Structure 1
Amino acid sequence: MTAPLSRRSGGRAARVASRAAALSDDIRPVRPGMTGGKFRPLTDAQVDRIHATALLALDEIGLADAPTSGIEIMTAAGARLGDDGRLRFSPALVEDMLAKACRDLTLCGRDPRFDMDLSGQRVHYGTAGAAVHMVDVAGRAYRESTVQDLHDAARIAHVLDNIHFLQRPMVARDITDNREMDLNTIYACCAGTTKHVGTSFSDPSHVAEGLELLHLIAGGEDAWRARPFVSNSNCFVVPPMKFATESCETMESCIRGGMPVLLLSAGMAGATAPSTIAGAIVQAVAECLAGVVYVNAMKPGHPAIFGTWPFGLDLRSGAMTVGSGEQALLSSGCAQMHAFYGLPGGATGGASDSKLPDMQAGWEQMCTNVMAGLSGLNMVYEAAGMHASLLGFCHESLILGDDLIGQALRCVRGIEVDDETLALEQMRDVCLNGPGHYLGTDATLGRMQRDHVYPKLGNRSSPKEWEEKEKPDLLVNATARKDAILNSRSAARFDPATDAAIRARFNIHLPA
């Protein structure tokens, strides 16, 4: 006769099974859109001074090189065109356009599960960049990135809980025709994930066909306009204080096509922006405020992200640096300005100057990701996978970044203080009536999933256990997980009829 299972073993088995199951959103310790903002590197008086200085810069210096269409749009709204060809903006005009700007923005995923609410200081992490190389961790080498690499990055990002959106992280260097590269970038990203996608256009003339492709994916123009799941990452300015003429024309076409835009100002402190942190923030804010005027003069309330992306510079060599403490402060200060304006905003965090996913990469990625999240940055771009000061992208690092961002999000969540978490009754019961420790108590077991983030690849075993498991290597395990993901079919793939229609209309370079 088989002995019945004890209540203790049965209870333990049930708890093990429960812990292995996917967590529902209401008890996940971290999730997209948690509210940050507890870290404020700027005082209220300093925020006011940055705002006032940015307004003076717009009123007295202005921006050059707007396209003819942009000049017409902005002067009709009240901007002044000087004899020097620069557009200047009065404080009153800027304030008027800020009042019209979109604030409660939700960026849609192709799957509504991945919609991102950017209101307030809700934090989201994702990829970005235009890397031209892939990092080969096994060979410790770099090679040119391809459209297949881009598609694979999208597929990997799709299954990572803490990567909330995919902005194109690399350039498909194997496609030499820029028009085909732009269209295949959209295809590769959207065929790899149903999370929100960000992309760029290398020429304004490519936007119309890009929108046609998106209409096919969405199931028609009306469906696309109802839920635009791709945004345009638009470098509409060339710092310092000049419009990027062709990018502005691209932005106008995207706005007419119902596509959200990221107003991206990416000055380099010490080169194309002032070398001081405060000065770099002032210039980025001024340039993006000009973008707010531009967008809302054209179409009031059009969804736009205030994309202040000032980067650091190593003044010893002139090399770009994205993993420094100064970079963390630049992005955190920008996040505070976004909150001041009440606008959805984005900046960089999580990129590394290191060439490989090593200890340097770890400290750089964690420093900038944590500070960006704590500051309440809505969109933390380049948060995982980016190396060599944005020149290289690494699939294994993207996977490892999921663990890293999980810990960063736990910092964003902060400390809850209430009767339950203060735990006085637990202390009383354990110390006066119980075993003298909290291991295995109902309270401890009941909150172990709700309060704690457990790494998927990070190793917390003892040295003895580590040896018994044949000394598992972090990068080797990351590569194994990458292979497992890519050996399964993409969950975001298009249905056969849609894919056939796309391939009949466009030259798609990925195999069917």
Structure 2
Amino acid sequence: MSSEGSKRSGRKARHAQRAAKPVVDPCPPGQKGGAYKPLSQREIEQIYDTALQLLERLGMGNVPDKLAADLKAAGAQAGQQDRLLFPREMVQRAIDTAPKSFVLHGRDENRSIEVGGDRVYFGTGGAAVQTLDIDSGLYRPSTLEDLHDFTRLQDTLANVSWFTRCCVATDVPDVFDLDVNTAYALVRNTTKPVATSFTLAEHVGPIVELLDIVAGGPGEFAKRPFLKAHISPVISPLRYGEDAVDVVYECVPHNIPMSCITAAQAGATAPATLAGFLAQSLAETLASLVMVYAIRPGFPMVFSNWPFIVDLRTGSFAGGSGETAVLNAASAQLTNWLGLPSGVAASMTDAKAVDAQYGVEKGMTSLAAALAGGNLIYESSGMTASLLGASFEGFVLDNEMHSHTYRALRGIEVSEENLGFDAICHSVLGDGHFLGSEQTYAAMERDYFYPELADRQEPRTWQNDGAKDAWSSARHHAKEVLVGHHPQYLSAELDAEIRKRFRILV
């Protein structure tokens, strides 16, 4: 072969190698966070002490009778206006006995993740009542079909580590049918860890029956629960919500792990000052932990302190703000300091379209939460319009964004080999560049992430290829998945058994 032919052959081989996925994923989920610390040690201690004072001197109101009895048995004391006070020793016992990590199981064990420590995972949350239509580009009410489609789409996205239903099926008016069909959509379309909410406590038992069918028989789900509950048992400021507390009581005997979510709003249901906000919301999430401790010490709970910001000029939710970024990062830092599995929220852009505002707000808030070490970062995929909307294109774009974030978290590995003194000398004294060196080829496969959607072409090539924007590329990818990915995670027999017992609407 001529030298020119050899060069062409080598160039084709290198292009093929670059087009293929790397042998080693340079940015898998579960990277270590915690480098960003918006609070000093002294500030953490001040916030924590204020939270303990709030629980000890002001306490919690609207305590349901059953919970009040359990809390008093665990050490709570009567306060003014029928409030219950939590001595700091009681709060500390709840922290000490809480699991510091636990597994969120997938039905496919290879998709299970361990929550806690310094590992970071992106996932979903939200209860969007509108969907950004993939064809019209306009919002419409979310449907049960949308939920099935979102679940199928995210099943193919490696950086969505667990899936909480992201939208509410507004076309299912009966709340029991809604809860059942939501759970069914999750188990039908993915084997990742999943999560949902229960509208009423009496819905928990029947849905566990559905999950038992999927797991292989009565009682099997509880042995290895692959669904967790999202519950907000505390209503800001500093009172319990009876319906949500009832759901907690139903979840515990079925061994359903839970994310107990505090969602105070600065200047509305919590102080507008950021430090005061953190103190109150920490106290409220600790009140959820104390509640779980009083019911069953050591039960798995994600400490989900989600600071929410409102625009104080208008009252509008501001999920993409810089304040949201720093508060959720601080929340992750506080929870990790306590040694508890942390849950925070990010990527809650206020943008309605997938545009520049969308990219800035999602990138800023999700990177801050990850750098601070949030174990589970909720709302991080697909959400738009201040959590009122969900987008198929958004899921695809956010999945690629998370890869960049994981790569940033991975950091820089410093070793004698990577420092490459000999390689530098060889290139400087030889070809004068590093383009064809073995070290460059090795680093190319090991250290760099190559996006599929982000465009890195020069302008003329981009124009000749149709001048596509990111939204168009993401829409094309999402449509391909929705046309081609129809997983069969339920056998015909299991599906028939579920449909015999429940009113399945799809």
Smaller-chain TM-score range? over 0.9
2:489 pairs with 1:490: no
Query: Which residue number in structure 2 is paired with residue 182 of structure 1?
Result: 179
Contact preservation (8 Å) 1:157, 1:163 = yes
Query: Which residue number in structure 2 is paired with residue 111 of structure 1?
Result: 108
Residues 149 and 92 (structure 1), Cα distance of their counterparts in 2 relative to 1, 3 Å cut: same
Query: Which residue number in structure 2 is paired with residue 231 of structure 1?
Result: 228
Shift of 1:405: 1.2
Contact preservation (8 Å) 2:384, 2:391 = yes
Query: Which residue number in structure 2 is paired with residue 342 of structure 1?
Result: 339
Moved more, 469-478 or 479-488: 469-478
The separation in 2 between residues aligned to 1:220 and 1:412, in whole angstroms, is 41
Contact preservation (8 Å) 1:347, 1:377 = yes
The separation in 2 between residues aligned to 1:467 and 1:116, in whole angstroms, is 42
Aligned with 1:487: secondary structure?
helix
1:83-102 pair list within 5 angstroms: 83-102=80-99
The one-letter amino acid of 2:294's match is A
Query: Which residue number in structure 1 is paired with residue 354 of structure 2?
Result: 357
The separation in 2 between residues aligned to 1:227 and 1:250, in whole angstroms, is 20
The separation in 2 between residues aligned to 1:441 and 1:351, in whole angstroms, is 43
Contact preservation (8 Å) 1:67, 1:246 = no
* Count of equivalent residues: 506
The separation in 2 between residues aligned to 1:490 and 1:74, in whole angstroms, is 47
2:414 pairs with 1:432: no
Query: Which residue number in structure 2 is paired with residue 72 of structure 1?
Result: 69
2:445 pairs with 1:449: yes
Moved more, 420-429 or 99-108: 420-429
Query: Which residue number in structure 2 is paired with residue 413 of structure 1?
Result: 410
Query: Which residue number in structure 1 is paired with residue 32 of structure 2?
Result: 35
Residues 51 and 214 (structure 1), Cα distance of their counterparts in 2 relative to 1, 3 Å cut: same
CA deviation profile, 1:157-198 (whole Å, cap 9, x unmatched):
111111111111110101000010011111112212111111
Contact preservation (8 Å) 1:137, 1:356 = no
TM-score normalised over the length of structure 2: 0.96
The separation in 2 between residues aligned to 1:46 and 1:247, in whole angstroms, is 32
Query: Which residue number in structure 2 is paired with residue 508 of structure 1?
Result: 504
Contact preservation (8 Å) 1:190, 1:492 = no
Residues 383 and 12 (structure 1), Cα distance of their counterparts in 2 relative to 1, 3 Å cut: same
Contact preservation (8 Å) 2:59, 2:79 = no
Query: Which residue number in structure 2 is paired with residue 143 of structure 1?
Result: 140
- Could you list the structure 1 runs, at least 4 aligned residues long, displaced by more than 4 angstroms after superposition: 2-24
1:279-290 pair list within 5 angstroms: 279-290=276-287
The one-letter amino acid of 1:438's match is F
The separation in 2 between residues aligned to 1:403 and 1:298, in whole angstroms, is 41
The one-letter amino acid of 2:150's match is A
The separation in 2 between residues aligned to 1:422 and 1:88, in whole angstroms, is 58
Aligned with 2:265: secondary structure?
coil
Aligned with 1:322: secondary structure?
coil
Query: Which residue number in structure 1 is paired with residue 385 of structure 2?
Result: 388
Query: Which residue number in structure 2 is paired with residue 212 of structure 1?
Result: 209
CA deviation profile, 1:293-329 (whole Å, cap 9, x unmatched):
1112211211100000110111110111000110000
Moved more, 419-428 or 344-353: 419-428
The separation in 2 between residues aligned to 1:119 and 1:142, in whole angstroms, is 37
Shift of 1:153: 0.8
Instruction: Give 5+ residue unaligned stretches, structure 2.
Output: none
2:249 pairs with 1:291: no
Contact preservation (8 Å) 2:22, 2:446 = no
Shift of 1:222: 4.0
Contact preservation (8 Å) 1:29, 1:450 = yes
Shift of 1:441: 1.6
Residues 192 and 23 (structure 1), Cα distance of their counterparts in 2 relative to 1, 3 Å cut: farther
The separation in 1 between residues aligned to 2:329 and 2:230, in whole angstroms, is 20
The one-letter amino acid of 1:461's match is Q
Moved more, 164-173 or 469-478: 469-478
Contact preservation (8 Å) 1:126, 1:163 = yes
The one-letter amino acid of 1:276's match is T
Aligned with 2:234: secondary structure?
coil
Shift of 1:480: 1.4
Contact preservation (8 Å) 1:191, 1:490 = no
Shift of 1:15: 4.7
Identity across aligned pairs (percent)? 37
2:116 pairs with 1:132: no
Instruction: Give 5+ residue unaligned stretches, structure 1.
Output: none
The one-letter amino acid of 2:337's match is F
Shift of 1:334: 0.3
The separation in 1 between residues aligned to 2:489 and 2:73, in whole angstroms, is 45
Query: Which residue number in structure 2 is paired with residue 57 of structure 1?
Result: 54
Shift of 1:418: 1.9
The separation in 2 between residues aligned to 1:22 and 1:217, in whole angstroms, is 34
The separation in 1 between residues aligned to 2:357 and 2:416, in whole angstroms, is 41
Query: Which residue number in structure 1 is paired with residue 266 of structure 2?
Result: 269
The one-letter amino acid of 1:497's match is E
Residues 243 and 441 (structure 1), Cα distance of their counterparts in 2 relative to 1, 3 Å cut: same
Moved more, 64-73 or 121-130: 64-73
Contact preservation (8 Å) 1:240, 1:267 = yes
1:11-50 pair list within 5 angstroms: 14-23=13-22, 27-50=24-47
The separation in 1 between residues aligned to 2:412 and 2:273, in whole angstroms, is 33
Shift of 1:59: 0.4
Query: Which residue number in structure 1 is paired with residue 154 of structure 2?
Result: 157
Moved more, 138-147 or 93-102: 138-147
CA deviation profile, 1:95-150 (whole Å, cap 9, x unmatched):
11111101121111111111111231100001110110011355342100011111
Contact preservation (8 Å) 2:134, 2:392 = no
Residues 297 and 7 (structure 1), Cα distance of their counterparts in 2 relative to 1, 3 Å cut: farther
Query: Which residue number in structure 2 is paired with residue 473 of structure 1?
Result: 469
Contact preservation (8 Å) 1:132, 1:392 = yes
Aligned with 2:259: secondary structure?
strand
Query: Which residue number in structure 1 is paired with residue 167 of structure 2?
Result: 170
Shift of 1:93: 0.4
The separation in 1 between residues aligned to 2:3 and 2:497, in whole angstroms, is 61
Contact preservation (8 Å) 1:60, 1:88 = yes
